[in-house]
């Protein structure tokens, strides 16, 4: 059996006296068999800002454990950047949705500097952000499994390729012919993640 939490967010990650994280608040969780790749839900579950898009848009993919991968990606992005992912009060409209701004910076080849961070810390932060960008892909089939996420986080940043362009909602991706041609299969995703570099 596997547990789908449906509410991974900072408030639900508790640290014990040794700073070992514990996931709490399983009120929305569902228990399902390992061989069952999709879950049937009658309503969206979770917290806005961390809820996977397939919980709202049924046409982009089936609800599965990849919903928790998405939530973890949003959590990881916030941890790496020490800020909320959505900031409606910013003066720069490109920074309203922080993951899109991060994606744009990386795709332009810009490094993101953090005041007081060592070179090693900046590499770790960059790795966390790249992994987070993979986790928050619009289509569930484009997101890595959690075992792949762990593998990427434990590996070197040079081994992680730039993920496909981020989209906020399905209508946005229909305007991009190149991305709309992407098909999803588990083998092609693994090859895609491993084949190119940043």
Instruction: List 2's β-bridge partners, or say none.
Output: 32
Q: Select which of 7, 16, 25, 68 is catalytic.
A: 7
To the query of whether residue 16 is one of the catalytic residues in this protein, the response is: no
In Å, how far are 90, 96, 98, 101, 175 from 93, measured between CA atoms?
7, 5, 10, 9, 21
Residues in the chain, overall count: 198
Map residue 194 onto helix, strand or coil.
Answer: helix
C-beta of residue 145 within 8 angstroms of C-beta of residue 189: no
Instruction: List 171's β-bridge partners, or say none.
Output: none
* Residues with catalytic function: 7
């Amino acid at each position: 059996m596997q547990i789908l939490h449906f509410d991974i967010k900072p408030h639900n990650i508790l640290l014990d006296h040794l700073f070992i994280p514990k996931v709490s608040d399983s009120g929305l969780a569902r228990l399902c068999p390992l061989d069952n790749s999709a879950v049937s839900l009658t309503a969206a579950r979770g917290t806005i800002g961390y809820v996977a898009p397939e919980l709202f848009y049924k046409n982009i993919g089936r609800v599965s454990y990849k919903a928790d991968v998405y939530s973890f990606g949003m959590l990881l992005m916030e941890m790496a950047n020490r800020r909320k992912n959505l900031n409606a009060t910013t003066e720069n409209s490109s920074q309203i949705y922080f993951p899109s701004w991060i994606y744009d910076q990386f795709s332009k080849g810009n490094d993101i500097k953090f005041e007081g961070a060592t070179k090693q810390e900046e590499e770790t932060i960059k790795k966390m952000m790249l992994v987070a960008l993979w986790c928050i892909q619009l289509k569930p089939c484009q997101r890595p499994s959690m075992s792949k996420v762990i593998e990427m986080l434990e590996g070197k940043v040079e081994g992680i390729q730039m993920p496909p362009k981020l989209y906020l909602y399905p209508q946005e991706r229909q305007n991009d012919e190149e991305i709309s041609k992407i098909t999803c299969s588990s083998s092609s995703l693994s090859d895609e993640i491993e084949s190119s570099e940043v």
